[in-house]
């Protein structure tokens, strides 16, 4: 059986006056994006909190109760805690969402909210590009004292622009769209 393209279907992209391709994807609303991120945060917290607690127990057991006050203020302990926390958080995120991101461009929250990450042109984004350009800069900048919280706030507030993109979308060349019903 032969399949034919539907001549009456909407085009996948529309060209503007200057011949530039404009995607016909419908952007996800701010509330859909917030709800998806909130769900992702809750799901990740289920894995990260026990892992972080275990890291703290290991650090405390390693130095002993007598030296705990000295270690609490040491640079090495803070560095180990930061790096360990980063590895636990990034590992949990990839464990939970890696397969979905690689195959569908979605996280658990995006699946539930029926949204998807695509390139600015509307194409599926490669897994490596998603992790290295969309998430890694966010994670690294977020872990820097003083700068991290300010960047996180600026990143979140950027969604109030007309294009509804956060800074991590600009860095990665991505956008979040609604999936067809």
Query: Is residue 6 situated within a structural domain?
Result: no
Cβ-based neighbour number of residue 139 at 10 Å: 15
Q: For residue range 35-69, list pLDDT tens digits in order.
A: 999 999 999 998 888 877 887 777 777 766 566 56
Query: Is residue 16 situated within a structural domain?
Result: no
- In this prediction, residue 3 carries a pLDDT of 57
H/E segment holding residue 18: none
- In this prediction, residue 22 carries a pLDDT of 52
Determine the length of the chain: 181
Q: CB–CB of 151/145 below 8 Å?
A: no
Query: Is residue 74 situated within a structural domain?
Result: yes
Tally of structural domains, the chain? 1
Measure the N-to-C terminal CA separation of the chain; round to a whole number of Å.
Answer: 27
Query: Is residue 137 situated within a structural domain?
Result: yes
**Positions in the chain whose pLDDT score sits under 70:** 1-5, 7, 9-24, 63-77
- What is the span of the domain harbouring residue 112? 24-178
Query: Is residue 172 situated within a structural domain?
Result: yes
Stated pTM of the model: 0.75
Query: Is residue 18 situated within a structural domain?
Result: no
Query: Is residue 157 situated within a structural domain?
Result: yes
Query: Is residue 159 situated within a structural domain?
Result: yes
Going through 36-135 in order, the beta strands assigned E by DSSP cover 115-119
């Amino acid at each position: 059986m032969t399949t034919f393209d539907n001549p009456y279907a909407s085009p996948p992209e529309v060209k503007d006056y200057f011949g530039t391709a404009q995607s016909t994807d419908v952007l996800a609303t701010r509330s859909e994006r917030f709800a998806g991120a909130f769900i992702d945060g809750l799901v990740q917290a289920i894995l990260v909190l026990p892992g972080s607690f275990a890291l703290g127990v290991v650090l405390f057991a390693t130095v002993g109760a007598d030296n705990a006050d000295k270690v609490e203020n040491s640079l090495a302990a803070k560095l180990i805690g930061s790096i360990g926390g980063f590895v636990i958080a990034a590992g949990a995120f990839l464990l939970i969402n890696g397969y979905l991101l690689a195959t569908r461009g979605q996280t658990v929250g995006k699946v539930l909210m029926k949204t998807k990450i695509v390139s600015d042109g509307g194409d599926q984004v490669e897994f490596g590009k998603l992790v290295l350009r969309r998430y890694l800069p966010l994670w690294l900048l977020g872990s820097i004292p003083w700068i991290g919280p300010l960047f996180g706030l600026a990143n979140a507030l950027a969604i109030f622009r007309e294009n509804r993109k956060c800074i991590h979308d600009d860095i990665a060349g991505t956008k979040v769209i609604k999936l067809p019903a």
